[in-house]
Structure 1
Amino acid sequence: MIDGIHELVSTKMNPNVLPHLHIWEWHIPLYLFLGGIAGGLLVITSVMIVMRRHFGIGPKDEGDGCPCTAVRIGAILSPLLLGIGMLFLFLDLTHKLYVWAFYTTIQPTSPMSAGSWILVAFFPLAVLQAMVVNRKYLNTLNIELLDKLIKWTDDHLLKVALLNAHIGVGIGIYTGILLSFFSARPLWSSSILGMLFLVSGISSASALLLLFAPKDEKHIYSRIDANAIWIELVIVGLFVLGGITGTANTHGAMMHLIVGDQLMAGMSYMYWFWGVFIAAGLLLPLLIEFLENAGFHLHLPPIAPVLVLIGGLVLRFLIVFAGQTYHTFM
């Protein structure tokens, strides 16, 4: 009697069964980066407005109802950067003419659906807040409708700012949750990604404000950034530890990120992660800002905030690309 030999053929990696590993290119990391900064800016500027108006602390107003320079700039940049980020997201869409479908569908279990509705709330409230804090420039236009909108928002600014702070947190977390819902990607299947991207966005936003703030305001955003960085280091540690101690798939995906030899722009993930993101993007800026806040005036060019922004951008590219170059669950 001859035993038959049965050959099992798996079609799991067939692109018709699973999407191609490189379905997301450079557009998505840029969207996540700019979205994170926009959310961080909205959180910081809104909290600064509440602290000044309700508690009377923080940088002095410049008169005519306008807050300090950094708050005015940050309030403008928040919707502007998110708008640019959404342009990158639009460019990534395969069927661009159907983008309207995001805003006519409510799917509570879909992160993309929830994110689209958060964006609906984000833009009008963020723009109204930006108009109020910059009203001394807008009032010169003498547009009746614009003046009424500014007056109404100013009368309810505390409520608007508090709501904006929560929306900013939602946008920051959403940029991470957008990835973590793709459970078939082992590197992304971590709920801590939402918190990591939120704190990273706040750190990047404070670094951006540090670049624009006048000299007498810089110490405020330097301290915000320093605190955000050490919290981010803790979260990164938990993210790495959770991956290493997880299942075989998540362990392999995390090792692919932190010690992998896969190249991105000619350099392995390992060097991007430990050298550029951790060392240059977090530890070095933290050291510089700690010394500055401790009274050691280093008289350096704005190295720290630039490095923080580079690190935040590299983090998004690493997570998106490493999540796709590692195989899906086997």
Structure 2
Amino acid sequence: MTEIIMNEITYTTQKMAGSYAEGWHIWGWEVPIYLFLGGITAGIIIIAALMMLKKRGKDFPVSTNRVILWAPVFLSLGMGALFLDLTNKLNVLSFYMTFEMTSVMSWGSWILLIIYPVSILMILSTFREGYSELYVKISKKLETIMDGKVLKLLEYMISFSEKNRDVIAKTAIPSGIALGIYTGILLSAFNARPLWNSAILGPLFLVSGISTGAAFIILLSEKDERHFISGIDVKLIMTELFILVLYFIGQITGGASKSEAINIFLGGDLFTPVFWIFFVFAGLILPLFLDWQESRGIEIHPKLQPLLVLFGGVMLRIILVKAAFILRDTSIHKMLY
């Protein structure tokens, strides 16, 4: 059994590193979507946990009590997308039967295993306050099941979570940070892709994930909360731009292979306008400009800025994954011809 598990981890790692890669079909749309949904989940968990610790449920109900319900939903959708991309789907449980210190996938599997119970406990700790009407409806339906025993169990779990809300929130913050960083390290750990081989990708994906989480909260929020979270997102976008500059500096000065790889975003290739227009401009610069315009009293559609941030988060991951495989195919073509 151990040999089967290690073979699966080794095969998956080799596939990601390029040993069996033959083109873009190795990683389709599923992996970028998984990375995006993992990032937004991390962002939601971190922001919700911080708001819970600050006791802001009355002033900011969406970010404190309601948005956390989406965390396991997004994570499950992301896991579903990743499952579709797995070559050996029957061996998916093998990742949870051992822990391989040198395997990024092994680390990620266990991080995800922690995120689910943490997010569920967060939901339970805020459910009565955040979804009071839904809680009443569920309670009435559960009263008739097994003489109310199911309802008593639910109430016990909710009361336990409410009582330990701060402990849960303090556990959620490092868990969310680990998930956000993991979505970047999943790429950066593989030396066969010079475009990914940067320690900056972990922080970049973490900040991007928190920013997209904030953007999703803005979509669901009313005026005061929307304004407050928008202010946080502006700072996150500016931080993301700074980290992006560090990423480019690291690639340009990191040796011939990295310098050549980063030229796909600088040298007039098709990916140059795609990267700068659809990610940097549409996903970062334009949201900052719209926020500035709104601060000057110019009316901006409240959904436009967060939608652009979410779009930019998706494009970042699609472009980085796609570009790395295009670079590999180009390198092979040069060697052969």
Q: Is the 8 A contact 1:258 1:273 kept in 2?
A: no
- SS of alignment partner, residue 216 of structure 1: helix
- Equivalent of residue 286 in structure 2, options 284, 287, 296: 284
Give CA deviations for 1:240-263 in whole Å, capped at 9, x if unaligned. Answer: 1111122110011100134352xx
Determine if contact 2:36/2:314 at 8 Å carries over to the other structure: yes
| CA distance in structure 2 between the aligned counterparts of 1:237 and 1:149, rounded to whole angstroms | 46
Q: Report Cα offsets for 1:84-133 as digits up to 9, x if no partner.
A: 00000000011111110011110122111011111111001101211221
1:55-74 CA-partner distances (Å, limit 9, x unpaired): xxx4526xxxxx71343331
Alignment match, 2:163 = 155
Q: Mind listing any 5+ residue stretches in structure 1 that lack a counterpart?
A: 1-15, 53-57, 62-66, 262-267
1:273 maps to 275
Alpha-carbon contact 1:34-1:85 (below 8 Å) kept = yes
More helix by share: 2
- Indicate yes or no: 2:31 matched with 1:28: yes
Distance 2:189 2:216 in 1: 29
2:58 is aligned to 60
- The alignment status of 1:324 with 2:325, answered yes or no, reads yes
Matches of 1:301 and 1:38, distance apart in 2: 22
Once the two structures are TM-superposed, the CA of residue 163 in structure 1 deviates from its matched residue by 0.6
Corresponding position: 1:138 with 2:141: no
Q: Which residue of 1 aligns with 2:45?
A: 42
**Aligned position for 1:296:** 297
Q: What secondary structure sits across from 2:223 in the alignment?
A: coil
Whole-Å separation in 2 of the counterparts to 1:260 and 1:105: 46
Contact 2:51/2:63 (CA < 8 Å) preserved in 1? no
SS at match of 1:217: helix
Question: For this pair of structures, how many residues does the alignment match?
Answer: 298
Shift of 1:18: 4.6
Q: Which amino acid aligns with 1:75?
A: I
Structure 1's 175 and 271: CA in aligned 2 closer, same or farther, altered over 3 A?
same
Q: Deviation at 1:303?
A: 1.3
Mapped partners of 1:138, 1:314: distance in 2 = 37
Q: Is 1:72 aligned to 2:65, yes or no?
A: yes
Q: CA RMSD for the aligned pairs?
A: 1.9
Contact 2:45-2:119 within 8 A present in 1 as well: yes
Q: Distance in 1 between the 2:273 and 2:230 partners?
A: 27
Please say if 1:200 is aligned against 2:208: yes
CA offsets per residue over residues 132-157 of structure 1, 9 Å max, x none?
Answer: 21223335525111111111111111
* Alignment check: 8 A CA contact 1:131 1:138 kept: no
Partner Cα separation in structure 2 for residue 39 and residue 148 of structure 1: 27
- Identical pairs, percent: 40
Query: In 2, distance between residues paired with 1:17 and 1:206?
Result: 38
- Taking structure 2 as the reference length, the TM-score comes to 0.84
In the superposition, the TM-score normalised over structure 1's length comes to 0.86
Separation (CA, whole Å) in 2 of partners of 1:167 and 1:316: 21
Cα-to-partner distance string for 1:254-309 (whole Å, 9 max, x where unaligned): 00134352xxxxxx2111111111111101101212343x4524243421111111
- Give the one of 46, 50, 54 matched to 1:51: 54
d(CA) in 2 for partners of 1:272, 1:145: 52
CA distance in 2, matches of 1:132, 1:249: 49
For the Cα contact (< 8 Å) 1:125–1:164, is it kept in 2? yes
Query: Helix, strand or coil for the counterpart of 2:196?
Result: coil
Match of 1:86 in 2: 79
Does the CA contact (< 8 Å) of 2:66 and 2:126 recur in 1?
no
- Distance in 2 (alpha carbons) for counterparts of 1:208 and 1:167: 20
